[in-house]
Amino acid sequence: MATEERVVECDLAVVGAGPSGLFATYYAGFRGLSVALVDSLPELGGQVTAMYPEKAILDVAGFPDVKGRDLVEGLVAQALSAKPELLLGRTAAGLECDDDGLTLTLDDGTAVRAKAMVITAGIGKFSPRPLPAADGWIGRGVEFFVPAFEPYRDQDVVIVGGGDSAFDWAIHLEPIARSVTLVHRRDAFRAHQRTVEEVLASSVQVVTRAEVAALRDADGGTTGPLAELELVVDGEPRVVPAQAVVAALGFVADLGPLQQWGLETHRRHVVVDSSMRTSLPRVFAAGDITEYPGKVRLIAVGFGEAATAVNNAAVVIDPTAHVFPGHSSEGS
């Protein structure tokens, strides 16, 4: 006998449980809306939880310095106050819109029937760019993320990359690891200048115009534990000790099924107007996934976009409602 399809009914569907999605969920509850929150990852927090739980986040208003995990913890507590239906570990697959609402189909067969939707899917599904020389070493000394620092204590760590993640991890691992070497193929870096200056002023050895040629165990082979890494620096070979390598080379992003929904997109981002409306009726977007003139991709910006999207969605859901509901600090 076939299993009956599960149908979840709500006022607002939120697709993406990162910071913007969590705040959108809270704000929907603040507006008195019922919410279903969908994410392909098995836990709340999006990329921050999956990749940067120990990263110090410096550009969220009211927090001079907050770890990713602590920020997510607060956002989750706030979002859960809306009593959302959590649909985690499931990918949004299909979308159908009509005059009365929309139906979002998930990859497990669940159908979410909502009156409006906010897409807060960040960069979509992401996979790390590979380090060719590290073939066969993934999970044996080579990782793509640093979710915790303690496992690297007293190790020689090599970080490959020149972006924000590479430099952030270098800063955090420097007081824990025996040594930290940051390797980049160019002299110029993509990371924030303040972080670059902090690394350059530290004990981290920065090696530029360099590529990773090989990884070896203590006997010069590939079957034992990782012991050293061979670089080619300005055409010359150089060997550095390494019991751990972090390949921070960025990610390949994929919007997946969202690209088939008929949304107007630009360079893998969803185009929105000043109300955070997309090209589809009843569908809004917020956070890193959005694109409009002057867009700045910061968590702080995503919070504002989430509130804008939910407030405008509230009017679509109930035409008698007002876009601005009043301040949350006002009494009833």
Tell me, yes or no, if the two domains 7-126+251-317 and 130-247 fold the same way.
Answer: yes
For residue 50, pLDDT over 50 is answered with yes
The answer to whether 52 is a known ligand-binding residue is yes
The answer to whether 20 is a known ligand-binding residue is yes
pLDDT band at 1 (very low <50, low <70, confident <90, very high): very low
Residue 306's pLDDT is 98
The answer to whether 99 is a known ligand-binding residue is no
pLDDT band at 329 (very low <50, low <70, confident <90, very high): low
Residue 257's pLDDT is 87
pLDDT band at 331 (very low <50, low <70, confident <90, very high): low
Q: What is the pTM assigned to this prediction?
A: 0.77
Which tens digit of pLDDT belongs to each residue from 253-305?
Answer: 777 888 899 999 998 899 999 999 999 999 999 999 999 999 999 999 999 99
Closest to 101 measured CA to CA, from 92, 110, 112: 112
- Of these ranges, 56-65, 173-182, 246-255, the one predicted with the greatest mean pLDDT is 173-182
Is the CATH number of domain 130-247 2.40.50.140? no
Domain boundaries, the chain: 7-126+251-317, 130-247
Which tens digit of pLDDT belongs to each residue from 91-117?
Answer: 999 999 988 899 999 999 999 999 999
The answer to whether 39 is a known ligand-binding residue is yes
Q: Please, which residues bridge with residue 205 across strands? A: 181
Cα separation values, 10 from 102, 132, 158, 245, Å: 10, 46, 48, 45
The answer to whether 81 is a known ligand-binding residue is no
* 318 contact partners, CB below 8 Å, separation of at least 6: none
* Mean predicted confidence (pLDDT) in 120-137: 87
Task: Give residue for tokens 């029937």.
Answer: 113
The answer to whether 100 is a known ligand-binding residue is no
For residue 181, pLDDT over 80 is answered with yes
The answer to whether 148 is a known ligand-binding residue is no
Assess contact for 122 and 16: CB atoms under 8 A: yes
Assess contact for 36 and 114: CB atoms under 8 A: yes
Q: Which CATH superfamily is domain 7-126+251-317 in?
A: FAD/NAD(P)-binding domain (3.50.50.60)
The answer to whether 126 is a known ligand-binding residue is yes
Task: Give residue for tokens 């035409």.
Answer: 319
User: At 164, which amino acid appears?
Assistant: D
Assess contact for 162 and 184: CB atoms under 8 A: yes
